[in-house]
Amino acid sequence: MKKIAVLTSGGDSPGMNAAVRAVVRKAIYEGVEVIGVNRGYAGLIEGDFITLGASAVSDIINRGGTFLRSARCEEFRTKEGRQKAADQLRKEGAEGLVVIGGDGSFTGAMLLTNETGIKTIGVPGTIDNDIACTDDSIGYDTAMNTIIDAITKIRDTASSHERAFVIEAMGRHAGFLTLAAGLAGGAESILVPEIKFNIDEVCDKVQKGYEKGKIHSIILVAEGVEFEGNEFETNRDVNESNAFTIGRIINERTGFDTRVSILGHIQRGGSPTGRDRLLASRLGAAAVDAMLAGETNKMVGLIHNKIEVSDIKDAIEGKKEFDKDLYELANILSI
């Protein structure tokens, strides 16, 4: 193999730059040329490439976002779009493609390989940490620390004003990030999509905490939270985030002055933590190793601190198990 391409795709995550850097430098070390694809699959279809030498990736290990930029591309969802992408890679002489992203990006990579024979290796990059076949994905640790920092700051003002705060974290379909940040941030209640919550229990906890002398209450909610019972449904305004409905009900039931804080895309930015830089560096280099070993349709991950190369299909279709023990522990520790 003489030349490979690398792209970042889907929602960006802190550490993607460090992963691109590792791909480029490891490939150069192995005598392989690297081209970067701008704007994910959209740029791939258009042939929007740049040559990446070792110095092109200087000073990016510390930067959040992705300097290659990212996109969610409709055309790549079509067979024609993927064929165009393969033609562009072949025209450029690139024999393989490293895709840094989440499960949607991996599905695109798998279809590209199956339909056109272009070799692909996936590197998991998403703050959601919902990819199977790896313990952690790039960006998760940084986002977790961003949320913990936000909880710490909000707790200050919550205590000053004796308020309850409903804080919404990212995660439409997965609560891994919310659970970890909620536990490490000391939230009183943690609501995630994997476990339906009961609004009565949430209100009871706020009330009991108040009676025990707590002067604040933090309820950390994932975007895609699921609830049980009709009562929540009746009170719910479909045009607003669930966090606001939860906040309103808590206020009505407990009398606790309540505020809502939606953390939003602040969770996707910022300089990556040491842990994310380390993970990105190891996985980026491992992707090149896998490519040069002739692998394709694979994802590189880290399991029990060891690099593992898995079928990308398993990473896409395998369900990462939600840690119920950790969830239980968070409940125990927040009494």
Total number of residues binding ligand F6P (CB under 6 A)? Answer: 10
- Candidate segments 36-44, 126-134, 156-164, 243-251, binder of ligand F6P by CB under 6 A: 126-134
CA–CA separation, 320 and 175 (whole Å): 11
Binding mask of the shown chain, residues 248 to 277, with x at each position contacting ligand F6P by CB under 6 A: --------------------x---------
Q: Could you give the residue ranges of the DSSP H alpha helices within 117-229? A: 140-161, 176-185, 199-211
Asked if residue 287 binds ligand F6P (CB under 6 A), the reply is no
Instruction: Classify the C-alpha dihedral 234-240-241-244 as positive or negative.
Output: negative
Q: Strands of 77-162 (E only): list them.
A: 96-101, 119-124
**Measured from the CB of residue 234, what is the shortest distance to ligand F6P in angstroms?**
26
- Give me the helix-helix angle, 79-92 and 103-116, nearest 10°: 70
Q: Which residues contact 280 (CB under 8 A, 6 or more apart)?
A: 15, 16, 17, 18, 19, 21, 22, 123, 125, 138, 272
Query: Which residue in the list 103, 128, 130, 276 is annotated as catalytic?
Result: 128
Asked if residue 11 binds ligand F6P (CB under 6 A), the reply is yes
Please say if 128 is a catalytic residue: yes
Q: CA-based Rg of the chain, rounded to a whole angstrom? A: 22
Asked if residue 171 binds ligand F6P (CB under 6 A), the reply is yes
Nearest residue (CB) to ligand F6P, 102 versus 284: 102
Asked if residue 127 binds ligand F6P (CB under 6 A), the reply is yes
Asked if residue 299 binds ligand F6P (CB under 6 A), the reply is no
Q: Is 77 exposed, middle or buried (CB count within 10 Å of its CB: 0-12, 13-18, 19+)?
A: middle
Query: Cβ distance 86 to 118 under 8 Å?
Result: yes
First to last CA, the chain: 58
Asked if residue 14 binds ligand F6P (CB under 6 A), the reply is no
Q: Are strands 298-303 and 306-311 parallel, antiparallel or unpaired?
A: antiparallel
Q: Report helix, strand or coil for 224.
A: coil
Residues 223-242 close enough to bind ligand F6P by CB under 6 A: 223
**Measured from the CB of residue 254, what is the shortest distance to ligand F6P in angstroms?**
29
Nearest residue (CB) to ligand F6P, 102 versus 122: 102
Nearest residue (CB) to ligand F6P, 126 versus 273: 126
Q: What are phi and psi of 231, to 5 degrees?
A: -60, -40
Nearest residue (CB) to ligand F6P, 105 versus 310: 105
Nearest residue (CB) to ligand F6P, 52 versus 127: 127
Nearest residue (CB) to ligand F6P, 122 versus 209: 122
Q: Which of 17, 107, 126, 145 binds ligand F6P (CB under 6 A)?
A: 126
Catalytic residue annotation: 128
Instruction: Give contact residues for ligand F6P (rule: CB under 6 A).
Output: 11, 102, 126-128, 170-172, 223, 268
